[in-house]
Chains A and B, each alone.
Chain A
Amino acid sequence: MTMSEFNIRQKAWSAGLIVLFFVGWELFCLVTGMSDLILPRPSQVLATLFAKFWILWPHILQTLATTMLGFVLGVALGVVLGAIIGVSKVAYDTAYPLLVGFSSIPKVAVVPIFVLWFGSGTVPAVLTALSICFFPIVVNIATGLATTEPELEDVLKALGASKFDILWNVGLPRTMPFFFASLKVAVSYAFVGAVLSETVASNRGIGNVMMTASSNFDVPLVFAGLFVLAFLGVVLYVVFSLIEGQVTGWATRKNDLVAT
């Protein structure tokens, strides 16, 4: 069995499992006669989704926009902080406890503070997304920079390379696989943050739609929102995985080269 055959088979099994999950869910509801106020069937959820798609659409855009804005700001902040911390051992040791402390606060607890400061709506959603997604980026950038081989640094220093030369030619490129690996995690986090904040304090976005639907006992719509979120989450993850593969192929390409 060749590698690609193995991969195809693997993917077929994964797809099969997903289908099986939904079929099982559908059958479970039918057999037990489950009320759709508790657990609607997937087919009902899909029907609701199609029927109300144009009502959901602006909310989808809103959630995506806040996610991406929070994500971009979080990445910018994360890269700067990560670079500072990664270049200097002192900064790393000094700032790390504070960062860990900050990152271990459950972000849902921060939302009321953002709402207090900025009112409900888009701003707290963006800030929540930002605050939840920058940490993995900081850690990965800092790790990438801190793991530069000391021998190579010596070689370059002996040539008279400045700190910036080393950072530019060695440190940052080395960080790229860590950075892109962290991007796909960070974008999922940002998404969670945005939805979280919308759920608690907003009148727009998928999170808010789900809260409203829930209080109206429109359970199929709640699940439709959940489906949308799952779909968007997967899409964001896949997009950034593909970018990662394109940009930093050198870090993972080892496996395919056995054949060449």
Chain B
Amino acid sequence: MLASGLHAFPFMTRMQPNAAFRKDGDTVAAARSAAPIAIELSNASVTFGRGEKAVPALSETTLRIPDGEFVALVGPSGCGKSTILRLVSGLVRPTTGVVIVGGREVAAKALRIGMAFQNPTMLPWMTIEQNIMLPLKIVEPFRSEFRKLKRTVFRDKAHALLEQVGLKGFASRYPWQLSGGMLQRANLCRALIHEPRMMLLDEPFGALDQFTREELWSILQQLWMMHRPTVLLVTHDLREAAFLASRICVMSARPGRILDDSEVSFTRPRTIEMTFEPDFVALNQRLREFIVNARTAPSDGKP
């Protein structure tokens, strides 16, 4: 239990300020090996295009994420964070190396991955409830029972999720009747409805105002603690990464590679107030320095 506790932190008390952010040490590595690996990139690189037009998007990257961990990817823009998400989801194939997700090499095959982007892309002709149930229409084993259960079990499922994100009573509204923050909550529901073991979030809160964003952090944290999927979150917001993630990977400028990979050990549930405490701020500053250095790194060629 100690092993899983180390990356989930529910049993750990607040660490000393200087220990709040640790390098990926031996203890942690040992702890990780206990949980099955959900996502594994081995020397995976991605280059778009061929010949002279080839654009390297991701340098050879090795990354292992155990089941149930919440990992944030941060880094300068265009560094290949989203490329990692697309690799894991099977939307892009690695140019070199291997990507193993859920014990299998990634093909464009059903993995039951829940995805959410900055743009909530709700279908305008469907109600919120119908939008959220869309994955059930596509993913087995729900798919074959969709007609039978869409008005009973599945609808209840959608309503339960909506209630968890504070959208109770909005099920039969249409997307245009909801604000951006509400749509993004619905987006999270849609990413979770089919009980995915894995959630890939690409700057889901990027377009929201500060207060809505913080509210949604808490909701996402709650959802994660309740359902415990493996989460890979791409974000620009360092506070967001530090608030939500159990582990933060800092990436270099394009073509990206992982510069730093560290645990975040604040107790959960974390609160917004905690983000103003000294060790949280210190962590933010450390991350910030990494990224500033990554942006101006000479390997990039241009600032």
Which residues of A does B touch, CB under 8 Å?
149, 151-152, 154-161, 165, 169-170, 173-174, 176, 248, 250-251, 253-254, 257, 260
Contacts and interface: CB of A to CB of B under 8 A. Distances in A.
A209 B101 CA distance: 73
A251 B91 contact: no
Contact of A158 (B111, B121, B123, B177): B111
B89 A158 contact: yes
Contact of B119 (A149, A159, A260): A149
B117 A159 contact: no
B157 interface: no
B177 A160 contact: no
A158 B113 contact: yes
B117 A257 contact: no
Contacts of B139: 159-160
Contacts of A174: 123, 125
A169 B125 contact: no
Nearest to B110: A160
Contacts of A159: 110, 112-113, 135, 138-139, 194
B130 to A, nearest CB: 10
B176 A257 contact: yes
Interface string B88-126: 011100000000000000001111110111010101110
A173 B125 contact: yes
A157 B117 CA distance: 14
24 contacts: A151-B117, A151-B119, A152-B121, A154-B91, A154-B117, A155-B115, A155-B116, A155-B191, A156-B134, A156-B138, A157-B90, A157-B91, A158-B113, A159-B112, A159-B135, A160-B112, A160-B139, A165-B137, A173-B125, A250-B124, A251-B125, A254-B176, A257-B177, A260-B177
A158 B125 contact: no
Contact of B174 (A154, A169, A170, A250): A250
Contact of B115 (A149, A158, A173, A254): A158
Contacts of A155: 115-117, 121, 190-191
A162 to B, nearest CB: 9
A158 B91 contact: yes
Nearest to A148: B121
A20 to B, nearest CB: 40
A151 B86 CA distance: 11
Nearest to A165: B138
A170 B130 CA distance: 12
Given A151-B121, A156-B138, A253-B174, 10 more contacts: A152-B121, A155-B115, A155-B190, A158-B90, A158-B91, A159-B112, A159-B139, A250-B124, A250-B174, A257-B176
A71 B79 CA distance: 52
Contacts of B176: 253-254, 257
A156, A158, A257: most-surrounded residue (chain B CB, <10 A): A158
B134 A169 contact: yes
Nearest to B89: A158
Contacts of B135: 159
Interface string B170-186: 00001011000000000
A15 B100 CA distance: 69
A165 B146 CA distance: 14
A251 B177 contact: no
A155 B112 CA distance: 10
A94 B185 CA distance: 41
Report the 3 A-B pairs with minimum CB-CB distance, sorted nearest first: A160-B110, A152-B121, A158-B89
Given A165-B138, A257-B176, A158 B200 contact: yes
Contacts of A158: 89-91, 111, 113, 115, 200
Contacts of B137: 165, 169
A157, A159, A176, A251: most-surrounded residue (chain B CB, <10 A): A159
A251 B110 contact: no
A111 to B, nearest CB: 40
Given A155-B115, A155-B121, A170-B123, A160 B174 contact: no
A160 B138 contact: yes
B200 to A, nearest CB: 7
A50 to B, nearest CB: 46
Contacts of B174: 250, 253, 257
Nearest to B196: A159
A96 to B, nearest CB: 24
Nearest to A260: B177
A151 B89 CA distance: 13
